[in-house]
Structure 1
Amino acid sequence: MLLRPRRSLSPFETDAKPTANWFLKGMTGNVLNPKIGVFYVSFLPQFIPQGHSLIAWTFGLVSIHVVIGLIWSLTLIRVTQPLAAVLRREKVITWMDRSTGMIFVLFAARLAFAKR
């Protein structure tokens, strides 16, 4: 990264075939992610009024969470799309790779010289 950064964002040549059903793969990963379930089980019950329908309120709060996540994701996509052309430039790629490499070197140095 530091000495020989990439010149483009073109992917490496591999024998792997691209999967056609990317949506199903992503959805499965999200549904099977235990962190989301732990979040909903531990965080959301405190916002459900006592004596009200647990299922209805949980569904409502999860729906709000999903809508906020969609709005955030769409905002990120919309804002960063114009930056894609800049981020594909050779000089920017070189600068990002060298910066990332330097950060790794600094982390390694910090670990090497840390007192136990």
Structure 2
Amino acid sequence: MLTQQSLLAWTILSIGLVLLPGPDTMLVAGHAARRGFKAGMAAIGGIQLGGLLYMALCGFGFLSVLNAVPGLFMTVKIAGAIYLLWLGVQMLRGAVRPAPAGEAKVMPVGAPFRQGFISTVLNPKVAVFFLAALPQFVGTGPDAPLHGVLLIAIVYGLGLVWCVALAALATHAGRKVGQSSAMRWFEGALGVAFIGLAGRLALARNA
């Protein structure tokens, strides 16, 4: 059963989770800095859609399938690691061989939206976190799935506020540096970070 104390505790936990650097924040910052606020918001839209998927899975009681079906966690984990690795390599290539001035901003908004959604859905550690943490707050009663949806919504609501602020800051910073070497170093650093996240995800165990 949800109480004011448990909601407060979950909100504090959610703030820490949102502020912890991960694929979401890096995607938003990278697209906003490189291609502007609209691209950053597109990535945020994809991330939020992934959050809605987790809410739906929780509401219908399907979230635990990730652990229940043998091999499913491993399949999703490897797919997610490969996708993050691909994103990292693409960013490194862009840093080493930058596009001509102005060309980097012509990417359709569908691309960052798609990347945000796929990176969220193919990160099984997010689902495992919800599986591990939610029962401690919602229990196992008949209302548990509905309460779980509410708690997941809090996470993604806070994430929305943080990511929009991050997109605005990254857009401003991107306008300052333009297509300079600083931007190339930034994109290269993001590429390395994505490759590192891919390695962490590939080595992660189902807990």
Which of the numbers 34, 38, 44 marks the counterpart of 2:124?
34
Whole-angstrom distance in 2 between the partners of 1:19 and 1:82: 20
1:63 aligns to what SS in structure 2? helix
- After superposition, give the CA deviation of every residue in 1:6-40 in whole Å (9 maximum; x if it has no partner): 799537xxxxxx78853345423322321111010
Query: Could you tell me which amino acid in structure 1 is paired with residue 149 of structure 2?
Result: F
Instruction: Give the distance between the partners of 1:38 and 1:7, measured in 2 at CA.
Output: 36
TM-score by length of 2: 0.33
Aligned to 2:99, which of 3, 7, 10?
10
1:78 counterpart SS class = helix
Give the conservation status (yes or no) of the 8 Å contact 2:138–2:144.
yes
Equivalent residues of 1:8, 1:93 under 8 A apart: no
TM-score, normalised via structure 1 length? 0.55
- Mark the CA change 1:49 to 1:27 in structure 2 (over 3 Å): closer, same or farther: same
CA distance in structure 1 between the partners assigned to 2:97 and 2:115 by the alignment: 28
* Partner SS, residue 173 of structure 2: helix
Q: For 1:19-63, what per-residue CA distance to the aligned partner results, in whole angstroms no more than 9, with x for missing partners?
A: 885334542332232111101001122111564611111000011
Q: How many angstroms apart in 2 are the aligned matches of 1:90 and 1:7?
A: 12
Distance 1:86 1:70 in 2: 24
Aligned identity (percent) is: 24
Query: Aligned equivalents of 1:24 and 1:7: distance in 2?
Result: 24
1:15-94 to structure 2, matched below 5 A, reads 21-22=110-111, 23-49=113-139, 51=141, 53-88=143-178, 90=180, 92-93=182-183
Deviation at 1:93, TM superposition (A): 4.8
Change (3 A) 1:83 1:68: same
| Residues 8 and 89 in structure 1, CA contact (< 8 A), matched pair in contact too | no
Residues 28/91 of structure 1: CA separation in 2 closer, same or farther (3 Å cut):
closer
Identify, as 1 or 2, the structure richer in helix.
2
Structure 2 unmatched ranges of 5 or more: 1-94, 101-106, 190-207
1:10 is paired with a residue of what secondary structure? coil
CA RMSD of aligned residues (A): 3.4
Instruction: Between the two structures, name the one with larger relative contact order (CA 8 Å, sep ≥ 6).
Output: 1
Q: Could you list the runs of 5+ residues in structure 1 that have no partner in the other structure? A: 1-5, 12-17, 101-116
